[in-house]
Amino acid sequence: MGVKRSNGKTATEEIVSGATERVLKTISGLYEDGLGTGPGFIGLKAIAESPLLGLQMRKPRKKISVMIVGNHSAGKSSFINWYIGETVQKTGVAIETRGFTFVTSGRKRETLQGDATVRFYDHLSEFGKFPGVMSNLFTGLYKEYFKTLSSMEH
């Protein structure tokens, strides 16, 4: 790991954090204003909510989500455990992960299941329509994780 600066971040963490903030700001701008501000420019929200489409669009979240997928025994769980620095997912030859696990920062280490995960991530409310999904939906909250990459979740 690199040398921490006065703000508690390494140079690499500062670069990643700055890039992340720029991406999130651009996404938020597209949501509100589209490709520009002023007359003639409209954002994604206005387009979605127009009488023609009549869709409800959620405001972009302040965290980036990353989905990790791969073949059986490809090392997805091992990678997550290495990245977080804790045992988040079980690993081994006979272990097969069933379900979806969201890993994010929290005040304390905690695991949420089913409905609690949907309350934590309200944009997942439609998952309840699919049989068997709620019982296989989890969120892991990790305190150490928050200290290093607070604007990302996986």
**Closest of 118, 74, 75 to residue 100, by C-alpha:** 118
pLDDT above 90 coverage of the chain, percent: 1
**Closest of 99, 102, 98 to residue 111, by C-alpha:** 102
The three-class DSSP label of residue 21 is: helix
Higher-pLDDT residue of 10 and 95 is: 10
- What is the band of 147 on the pLDDT scale with cuts at 50, 70, 90? very low
Q: What is the pLDDT of residue 95?
A: 61
Residue 103 in contact with residue 69, Cβ under 8 Å? no
Residue 23 in contact with residue 65, Cβ under 8 Å? no
Q: What is the pLDDT of residue 127?
A: 82
Query: Mean pLDDT over all residues of the chain?
Result: 78
Residues 6+ apart with CB under 8 A from 71: none
* Residues 94-128: tens digit of each pLDDT: 666 677 888 887 778 888 888 898 888 888 888 88
Long-range contacts of 115-122 (CB under 8 A, 24+ apart): none
